[in-house]
Amino acid sequence: MRSRIAVAIAAAVTLAAAGCSGGGSGNDGGDQKSFEFWSFSGINQKAAVDEYQQKHPDIHIKLTEVGSSVETAQALTTALAGGKVPDLVLIQGDDLPKFVEQPQNFVDLRSLGADDVKKDYLDWVWSQSVAKDGEVLGVPTDVGGLAIAYRTDLFAAAKLPTDRDAVSKLWPTWDKFIEVGKQYKAATGKPFVDNASTSVFYQAVNQGDMKFYDADRNLAYDHSPQVKEAFDYALTAAQAGITAKLSSFSEGWSAGMAKGDFAVLAAPSWMLGGIRSNAPATKGKWDIATIPGGAGNWGGSYLAIPKNAKNQQAAWNYIKEMQSPQSQLAHYVGSGSLPSTPAVYKDAQLTSHKDPFFSNAPTGKIYTESLLGLKPFYIGPDSSAIGQEFQNVLTNVEQGKGDPGTAWDTALKNIKTAIGK
């Protein structure tokens, strides 16, 4: 973590020292024919920029891939403090809350026409970029959607159904999901799910209308029924011994995916590419089923314009065109980035899309349907830290290093230490 932060700070200092073309006050001095765009790496934002410039050859975009999403957010924080900012910046959803708490640093996009396009987006996604007094600070570029990826060959060996509709019916709730895990372990002697922290807690906690904060933006992590229920689901899964105890995105997790060390994992739409690259020899052995509870999301990003950007109108023109429903649909067809615009969820290009790696699962239909039952809830500046502390305690229990009987109280104590509240 320290090395990542160090890289982020170095990147921010370098960018600021370079006197970014977006520096200045308001939009005075901008030519509105060029703008500077900061993105994080790994998502091929260059393809979208190239597409836009082909349509608008008179516009020049200077794209800088700062680093990871965390590094990009840190670079932006430093740039905002120093006054040298890009005209447009991509912010990952988990990093957004701390910027929403400082709306004075960003253009209120209502002044550029955000109210005219608000209807195009999922309301609970849009609401996450709205500040306390109503300022709209970002437009959503995509969402994760959520489902369960499962190994049909391993299910068959455990004498469980393999058809995706039949599998989905096995676990309408998280309790049922855990019961299926017990059946799988009894039949095979092997772990069922990759881990309890990410595939159970992290998903279940996002399925209600109140998470770590209440509707009035007050901290609620210690008394939210939704949080306690999700924590108890994960604790039950860990104690049942149905997990492989492999932390998501670790080397062991990637290797275990290829070796069949677990049969299921929570898989947002963007993770499908990771499964393909981590376990290429398993093509055709995976399928996609509904997430317990029926709805879920993991991931998504936003485009924002810093207050001191010179070329605000040029940046907004890019947002409005490249994040329209039809543009988001085209991005999905080309890259698998799931739209945040529900108007395209019934488009044949999306509903008919099937993935041969995952037994020709209709991934477009499955993932968009997983978004429709979600409700808005406020994500605050400490949400990420709170969630991490809950997950840390659950991981310790899973690894046999923590006491399940005191796990909840331990998590609350650790959170208070971490955030000072």
1 Cα distance to chain centroid: 19
- Report helix, strand or coil for 143: strand
- Report helix, strand or coil for 287: strand
Answer for the pair 264, 145: CB distance below 8 angstroms, yes or no: no
Q: pTM value?
A: 0.86
Predicted confidence at residue 27, as pLDDT, reads: 53
Nearest to 265 by CA among 255, 253, 282: 253
Q: Which helix (H) or strand (E) covers residue 126, if one does? A: helix 123-126
Question: Per-10-residue mean pLDDT for the chain, 421 residues long?
Answer: 38 43 48 94 88 96 94 95 93 94 97 97 95 96 95 98 98 98 98 98 92 94 96 98 96 96 96 93 98 93 97 97 96 88 95 95 95 87 94 97 97 97 87
Q: Give me the residues paired with residue 130 across strands.
A: 136
Question: Please, which residues have CB within 8 angstroms of residue 364's CB and are 6 or more apart in sequence?
Answer: 332, 349, 350, 351, 352, 353
Answer for the pair 43, 67: CB distance below 8 angstroms, yes or no: no
Answer for the pair 267, 147: CB distance below 8 angstroms, yes or no: yes
Predicted confidence at residue 208, as pLDDT, reads: 85
Neighbours of 82 (CB within 10 A): 15
How big is the CA angle at 54 (ends 53 and 59), to the nearest 5 degrees? 30
Same fold, 2-143+299-344 and 147-296+360-419: yes
Residue 393, φ and ψ in degrees, nearest 5: -65, -40
Checking 18-21 for CB contacts under 8 A at 24+ apart, the result is: 19/84, 20/79, 20/84, 20/85, 20/86, 21/62, 21/87, 21/310
119-135: b (≥16 Cβ within 10 Å) or e: ebbbebbbebbbbeeeb
DSSP states along 45-101 = HHHHHHHHHHH-TT-EEEEEE-SSHHHHHHHHHHHHHHT---SEEEEEGGGHHHHHT
Work out whether the CA dihedral 302, 308, 309, 311 comes out positive or negative: positive
Q: Tell me: the pLDDT tens digits for 23-35?
A: 333 455 678 899 9
Nearest to 397 by CA among 200, 254, 171: 200
Answer for the pair 378, 217: CB distance below 8 angstroms, yes or no: yes
Alpha helices by DSSP H, 247-382: 251-259, 272-278, 312-322, 325-335, 348-351, 363-369
Predicted confidence at residue 28, as pLDDT, reads: 54
Work out whether the CA dihedral 28, 32, 34, 35 comes out positive or negative: positive
Query: Where are the chain's structural domains?
Result: 2-143+299-344, 147-296+360-419
Report the interhelical angle of 2-17 vs 69-82 (nearest 10°): 40
2-143+299-344 architecture in CATH? Answer: 3-Layer(aba) Sandwich (3.40)
Can you tell me the distance from the alpha carbon of 183 to that of 267, in angstroms, rounded to the nearest whole number?
21
Pick the CATH number of 147-296+360-419 from 1.10.10.10, 3.40.50.720, 2.102.10.10, 3.40.190.10: 3.40.190.10
